[in-house]
Amino acid sequence: MTAKVIYQGDLRTVATHLRSGSLIETDAPVDNKGKGERFSPTDLLATSLATCILTTMGIAGDTHGINIDGTECEVEKIMASDPRRVAEVKIAIQFPKNNSYSDKEKVILERIAHTCPVAISLHPDLKQTISISWD
């Protein structure tokens, strides 16, 4: 088992990662009867794509000697209705300005952005818009 999730009431949950004990709280978003005081479940879906991209890039960086420390992602989630769902996730990746990357390293890292485990697990109807800035 990976996690245990408990409904706290008032549209809030607490998820516990069983191996580490770390917690994630969620709230329903304001536009869906919630308080919006925490990540919503759909926020976590969008954020998981960014964290998966960076984690997988970090693994490749360790393998190929590429330093990605300090790389940042900005995540935007776009909702659709009828049915309510995530229609698009936009991720802007910014590599540190003080690092330089070869063309080969850029190809490796760009490929990962589109093929990390979360990216290839999401439904093909969910649009993934990934932009990368190297400087």
Domains along the sequence of the chain with CATH: 3-32 (no CATH), 41-133 (3.30.300.20)
Q: Give pTM, 2 decimals.
A: 0.94
In the chain, the amino acid numbered 108 is I
Can you give the pLDDT of all 135 residues of the chain as single tens digits?
999 999 999 999 999 999 999 999 999 999 999 999 999 999 999 999 999 999 999 999 999 999 999 999 999 999 999 999 999 999 999 999 999 999 999 999 999 999 999 999 999 999 999 999 998
- Judge whether 53 and 68 are in contact, CB under 8 Å: no
Q: Kindly compute the dihedral angle of the four CA atoms of residues 133, 53, 89, 93, in this order, to the nearest 10 degrees.
A: -10
Preceding omega of 83 cis (within 30 degrees of 0): yes
User: What are the C-alpha distances in Å from 18 to residues 21, 25, 40, 45, 107?
Assistant: 5, 15, 21, 19, 36
